[in-house]
Amino acid sequence: MAGITVEGLSTVYPNGVRAVDALDLEIADGELFALLGPSGCGKTTLLRTIAGLEGATDGAVAIGDRDVTRLQPGERRIAMVFQDYALFPHMTVSENIAYPLRVRGVAKSVQQETAVRTAEGLSLGALLDRRPGQLSGGQQQRAALARAVAASAEVLLLDEPLSNLDARLRLEARTFLKKLQRELALTTVFVTHDQAEALALADRIAVMDVGRIRQLGTPREVFQRPADTFVANFIGSTPMNLVPRGSEIIGVRPEYLSPAAEGLFTGEVSIVENLGVTSLVTLDCGEDQIGYVVPEDDEPAIGTTVTVDAPPARVLRYDKETGLLVR
């Protein structure tokens, strides 16, 4: 196994777009690491540059103690699972799993033995003779992961691995993926635009924007103390309340606000959105709209005047000009 080191990495396309901009990053051996950000932020380009599918314009990529910057993808000892899984439609599941070994000229008996063993570990044993078109989305994902595992790579790279699954399958696959990664202790980097997915899966998250990392930290650090207003707006199932106050912007998550006799915000209830076991309440506070979360059956009536407050440690302050966290 091996970690990944990226130093001063830039990837510039022929049209002049700087998709990755002088980026430094260290991913530990055995870490489950998320590259998170909106479309066009450079996360997929970074993943593809690590894989060798995009050429680095400047800087270096190392896997373990090897500089792989100028190596071809097949020489980097990586395995990649693409968004559409990229299974060969004319091959069976067994043939797809064994394909990396076949390319390396491994004996057929070893190919078959590895395919069976890997498939059994991923609950695909009964599906080895089927073709991808005969599999569900979740089964295709497991087949693609099995092929990656069978390659005996040092690093696993996943490009939006759960995006093609429906909500129920996505939750199941998320749990499965985390369990598999823990068992293999394989350095894994995955790209996603889904912040809930990143928060649930990753040991650490890099939040990206325009080719650079805005914040690097654990899911808890990124959620509780966003480094700037961009991250604050992007992270969280409900958007953080960001309210200008003089030279600062007050930031507080809806989950940390609750009704109080006195507090930060007072307004009239304008909207109540049912989120399942909780509801998101929106207060009309003049120029500002403030959201806070209440348990089910605790929703206030529309038009009610409510004051909400938060523990002092949960109230963040950002510089109005730079957007950076002050305290």
Q: Is 291 helix (H, G, I), strand (E, B) or coil?
A: strand
**Which amino acid, 101?**
L
Q: Which of 189, 251, 248, 250 is nearest to 223 (CA)?
A: 251
| pLDDT beyond 70 at 1 | no
| pLDDT beyond 90 at 188 | yes
Q: φ, ψ for residue 110 (rounded to 5)?
A: -70, -40
Q: Residue 309: exposed, middle, or buried by beta-carbon count in 10 A (0-12, 13-18, 19+)? A: buried
pLDDT computed for residue 282 by the predictor: 96
Tell me the mean pLDDT in the region 241-245.
94
Q: Residue 159: exposed, middle, or buried by beta-carbon count in 10 A (0-12, 13-18, 19+)? A: buried
Express each pLDDT in 123-166 by its tens digit. 788 889 999 999 888 888 888 888 888 887 889 999 887 777 77
CATH number for the domain whose boundaries are 4-224: 3.40.50.300
- In the DSSP assignment, the letter for residue 38 is S
Contact 81, 161 (CB under 8 A): yes
| pLDDT beyond 70 at 251 | yes
Q: Where do the DSSP E strands lie in 129-211?
A: 155-159, 187-192, 204-209
Rounded Cα distance between 302 and 83, Å, is 43
Tell me the mean pLDDT in the region 272-291.
93
What is the CATH architecture assignment of 241-319? Beta Barrel (2.40)
| pLDDT beyond 70 at 209 | yes
| pLDDT beyond 90 at 119 | no
Domain ranges of the chain: 4-224, 241-319
Express each pLDDT in 5-39 by its tens digit. 999 999 999 998 999 999 999 999 999 999 999 98
Q: If residue 145 lies in a helix (H) or strand (E), which one and from where to where?
A: helix 137-150
